[in-house]
Amino acid sequence: MKILIATDMEGITGVTTWEQVTPGHAEYARFRRLMTQDVNAAIRGAFDAGADEVVVADGHWNGSNILIEELDARAKLNTGSPSPLSMMEGMDESIDGVIFIGYHARNGSPSAILDHTWSSKTVANIWLNDILTGEYGLNAAVAGHFDAPVIMVSGDQTACAQVTELLGDLETAVVKQASGRFAAECLAPQVTQEMIRLSAERAVERLAQGDMHVPFVLGTPITVTVEFFTSDMADRATRIPFTKRDGTRVSLTVQEMTSAYNGFRAMVMLAAG
């Protein structure tokens, strides 16, 4: 059994501010260590449940957050950017299940730490076909393209609820209760790391027993629609051939999810100017 641990930083233990997840700020050094520890807890849980291989994708910012010198030595780390599959780098047909660590809710969510959708400066909303979702939905659909389910998520209560609502009954580790965008009741790392380890262990056990829901596979063709914050962002995104424009919304229709993912990333890169 081979597991991909796809990581982000906003849903890591104790995180409540942008400074804590942004390189160059004094607090960042502490929280990249806590991110590494949350990831290590998931790696331990996966191996405890009998996983043969664990691959990690460092999916926040420039993909250079996890401290490799402190990473559980049994795992491999995909780091750096841009990589072909970004937050899902390492995903291929050999992966049996995907774990999301440190995930956050989509933009506009109440009681959600650092809620945003891929880019807090450009993207208001995204839809996959007609499903309003966040980056968790995009990443789950990439996993689905390679026929693997998402089996666990860690983050605040709202992130875990949104992923569960989209994907069905999977294991969750709620490491903090958000009361606003920048405020939460947080559990200590000793507590959350054990929660994450146990959730990952249960998730991989359930996967091995065939007791996990089916992969998230979208009907084709796949339309990805991005609502930008301003019209100049939409102006730039529509430079991509075959996009369609409706106000600040730009959509692209393609035949497979990896192309939708790349088209979405290209739109956001262009929109940023």
Distance between CA atoms of residues 52 and 104, nearest Å: 28
Q: Which residue stretch of 1-9, 158-166, 168-176, 230-238 sits at the interface with Zn ion (rule: CB under 5 A)?
A: 1-9
How near is the Cβ of 203 to Zn ion at its closest, in Å?
22
Distance between CA atoms of residues 135 and 178, nearest Å: 19
In the bound state with Zn ion, the residue whose beta carbon lies nearer, of 117 and 243, is 117
In the bound state with Zn ion, the residue whose beta carbon lies nearer, of 163 and 234, is 163
Q: Are strands 249-254 and 244-246 parallel, antiparallel or unpaired?
A: antiparallel
How near is the Cβ of 60 to Zn ion at its closest, in Å?
4
Q: Which residue stretch of 43-51, 56-64, 222-230, 262-270 sits at the interface with Zn ion (rule: CB under 5 A)?
A: 56-64
What is the phi/psi pair of residue 13, to 5°?
A: -45, 125
Q: Which residue stretch of 31-39, 58-66, 130-138, 249-257 sits at the interface with Zn ion (rule: CB under 5 A)?
A: 58-66
In the bound state with Zn ion, the residue whose beta carbon lies nearer, of 7 and 157, is 7
Distance between CA atoms of residues 56 and 191, nearest Å: 22
How near is the Cβ of 1 to Zn ion at its closest, in Å?
27
How near is the Cβ of 11 to Zn ion at its closest, in Å?
8
Question: Please, which residues bridge with residue 224 across strands?
Answer: 128, 252
CA distances from 44 to 39, 59, 106, 109, 194 (A): 9, 20, 28, 31, 10
Q: Report the length, in residues, of the chain.
A: 273
In the bound state with Zn ion, the residue whose beta carbon lies nearer, of 32 and 60, is 60
Contact between 227 and 126 (Cβ < 8 Å): yes
Q: Which residue stretch of 57-65, 183-191, 196-204, 238-246 sits at the interface with Zn ion (rule: CB under 5 A)?
A: 57-65
Q: Is 58 in the site for Zn ion (CB under 5 A)?
A: no
Residue 116 is a catalytic residue: yes
End-to-end CA distance of the chain: 42
Interacting residue with Zn ion among 32, 44, 60, 176 (CB under 5 A) = 60
In the bound state with Zn ion, the residue whose beta carbon lies nearer, of 60 and 206, is 60
Q: Using CB under 5 A, which residues numbered 2 to 31 contact Zn ion?
A: 8-9
Residue nearest to Zn ion (CB): 60
DSSP category for residue 218: P
Question: Please, which residues bridge with residue 172 across strands?
Answer: 153
Distance between CA atoms of residues 75 and 30, nearest Å: 22
**With CB under 5 A, what is the number of residues at the site for Zn ion?**
3
- Going by C-alpha positions, the residue among 143, 254, 103 that lies closest to residue 267 is 254
Residue 211: strand, helix, or coil: coil
How near is the Cβ of 8 to Zn ion at its closest, in Å?
4
Q: Is 106 in the site for Zn ion (CB under 5 A)?
A: no
Which candidate in 104, 116, 145, 213 is catalytic?
116
In the bound state with Zn ion, the residue whose beta carbon lies nearer, of 106 and 206, is 106
Contact between 7 and 59 (Cβ < 8 Å): yes
Give catalytic residues, as residue numbers: 116
Q: Which residues here bind Zn ion, judged by CB under 5 A?
A: 8-9, 60
